Amino acid sequence: MKLERKHTKVLIPLSKTWGWVLFLFLNFAFVSSAQQSPTVRSAVDTTIIKIGEQINFMVSVEADTTAQVLFPEGQTFSPLETVEAFKTDTTRKADRMTLQKIYALTQFDSGSYLLPAQRIEIDGKGYFTDSLLVSVSTIEVDTVSKEFYDIKPLISVEKNQASLPFYFWVILGTLLLVGIILWYIFRRKPLSEEEQIALLPPYDRALQELKKLEKSKYLIQEEYKKYYSELTDIVRSYLEEDVHISALESTTDQLITKLELMKDAGELKIDDETIQQFKQILYTADLVKFARSKPETSKAEEDRKSIEHIVIKTKEAIPEPTEEELMEQAAYKEAMRKKALKKRRIQAGLATAAVIVIGLIATVFYYGIDNVRNSLIYQPSKNLLEGEWVASSYGYPPIDLTAPDVLLRQEVELTTEEMNAVRDKQVFSFYNPDNLLWVGTSSVILAEPTEPDYQKSIDRVLKDLADKGARNIITKQEEFSSASGVPGVKVYGSASFPGESEGDRVKGKYAIILFGGKGFQQQVVLSWVEGDPYAEQIIDRIINSIDVKTQV
């Protein structure tokens, strides 16, 4: 049995055929248009300017509307300086767009400068502009009719204290607390009535205390024991201070005996009647205190008046003090004054020490003992690390880095060997003597378009370190990449550097970072004190910020 294959013939109308053709043609045209390559154009409004004038460098990019375009940013136009990068102007037409960006550039040194080609990134692919030669001429200055003045000196400004560290407030609070304590200890306090009476001479104090006893309510409240106890204590204290006999610890008979002996010896000119009157009052006081006797109120009042009279009589009976006694009294008062002042000073010192210790403990608790110790020892490095840093471009070919301060241009004298091999050399450096931190850059344009000799440059830097007093130099080497991925070489190690004082040695570290290509070389040299944690952070921050341009 044979199987027969049937063929069916399909006829497509002519109109549909042309429709498919047209559809394929349009798709082809669309794909061709969509795959059209982007174009990059650049131009400047002028190539001749005077010092300080600006040129406008315009970059125009035409690409698909879906393309991602990245223009150069920062100081990528070195040796020209970027004054301002204007906003990108965008124009769209169908599925294409035109981006236009203008940069204002300038230069403050006369000469001819090559504006390097700029990389425009479109969808991850790099497109470069043309390089241009810009001529910068000097300005003619009228030195005949114009009057010139000296450059004004630098003016110091106060540091911005908007954000003060915690330990500043601890120190401020400690000082305020110490001040309050000292004021409290040494201030002239208003004296109470008791203190004012205590400062009076014995005679005046006794009379004042007797007046105060008269105004008391002891007799009204029938507190005779308290009344007579204070009465006898007043007169006994007076006799002990002014007559110089041990009256407070003596019995009535012993005290009367002492007074009679002083009378007989001529040391106290007092009559027998006064002594007997005083003896009778003391016996009455003993009966009240020990036998709970209750005399009449009038009798108690009379005894107080009698004691006042006895104090007055006794004062009159005391011979005038001799000059030696007066001097002894003055010396005693001066000694007591010095003793009181010494006591106050000891109290103030102890209080101040306590406040300082408390403030130190609070600072250690907040920051940690390591941070506090490092802040006290490595304060200059800490100030540099926490201060305002400067990001700049140095030399040509440029070296970009961020440092605690501006690197200053150094005058360079080329050696005989360098004169034959080097066409131009630009050196910038920064040195802080407080923490022996040194940062330097060197940009060299070779006389011939050859690869630089890294080893020769490394040997030259190490020799320079040795000439400056470095000893025991240890060297290591590894590959290095800049912030933008430019490959280089890093040589680092440790050494013993000369200190600030003569004969002093400091353990330190160094690093040499080199880049280069045909006809040029870039170099960064760093040195710092070993063991300084803040210096280590400074160096790491500088190294991580290093970037170079490798086009001459």
Per CATH, which fold does 39-137 belong to?
A: Immunoglobulin-like (2.60.40)
What residues contact residue 45 under an 8 Å CB cut-off, 6+ apart? Answer: 55, 56, 58
**Tokens found for residue 229:** 């106890």
Q: In this structure, are strands 132-137 and 111-115 parallel, antiparallel, or unpaired?
A: antiparallel
Omega within 30 of 0 (cis) for the link into 397? yes
At 468 the three-state DSSP class reads: coil
Q: What pLDDT is attached to residue 269?
A: 84
Q: Name residue 340's amino acid.
A: A
**CA–CA separation, 118 vs 97, rounded Å?**
20
- Going by C-alpha positions, the residue among 466, 535, 464, 470 that lies closest to residue 507 is 470
Burial class of residue 361, CB neighbours in 10 A (0-12, 13-18, 19+): exposed
Residue 316 has phi, psi (to 5 degrees) of -70, -25
Quickly tell me which residue has 């507190």 as its tokens. 223
At 154 the three-state DSSP class reads: coil
How is domain 389-548 classified at the architecture level of CATH?
A: 3-Layer(aba) Sandwich (3.40)
**CA–CA separation, 122 vs 484, rounded Å?**
18
**CA–CA separation, 472 vs 475, rounded Å?**
10
Q: What is the DSSP string of 212-265?
A: HHHTSSTTTTT-HHHHHHHHHHHHHHHIIIII----TTS-HHHHHHHHHHHHHT
- Going by C-alpha positions, the residue among 465, 461, 425, 463 that lies closest to residue 445 is 425
Helix %, strand %, coil % of the chain (to 5): 40, 25, 30
Q: Which residues of the chain have pLDDT under 70?
A: 1-35, 75, 141-146, 148, 157-170, 185-198, 321-322, 325-326, 329, 363-364, 366-379, 550-552
Task: Compute CA distances 498 → 150, 395, 460, 509, whole Å.
Answer: 39, 29, 19, 12
Q: What is the DSSP string of 391-406?
A: EEEETTTTEEEEESSP
CA 307 to chain centre: 72
Task: Compute CA distances 392 → 81, 226, 384, 407, whole Å.
Answer: 11, 91, 17, 9
**CA–CA separation, 381 vs 435, rounded Å?**
6
**CA–CA separation, 255 vs 246, rounded Å?**
8
**CA–CA separation, 529 vs 498, rounded Å?**
11
Q: What pLDDT is attached to residue 29?
A: 42
CA 5 to chain centre: 98
Positive or negative, the CA dihedral 301, 304, 306, 312 is negative
Positive or negative, the CA dihedral 260, 266, 268, 273 is positive
Predicted structure pTM score: 0.43
Q: What pLDDT is attached to residue 105?
A: 92
Report the greatest alpha carbon distance in the chain: 179
- Answer for the pair 100, 88: CB distance below 8 angstroms, yes or no: yes
Beta bridge partners of 115: 132
**Tokens found for residue 134:** 């810009």
- Answer for the pair 509, 490: CB distance below 8 angstroms, yes or no: no
Helix (H) or strand (E) holding 445: strand 437-446
DSSP state of 130: P
Q: In this structure, are strands 69-70 and 119-122 parallel, antiparallel, or unpaired?
A: antiparallel
What residues contact residue 428 under an 8 Å CB cut-off, 6+ apart? Answer: 394, 395, 407, 408, 409, 410, 440, 441
**Tokens found for residue 473:** 């130099």
**CA–CA separation, 75 vs 110, rounded Å?**
19
Enumerate the domain spans of the chain. 39-137, 221-319, 389-548
**CA–CA separation, 441 vs 395, rounded Å?**
8
DSSP state of 187: S
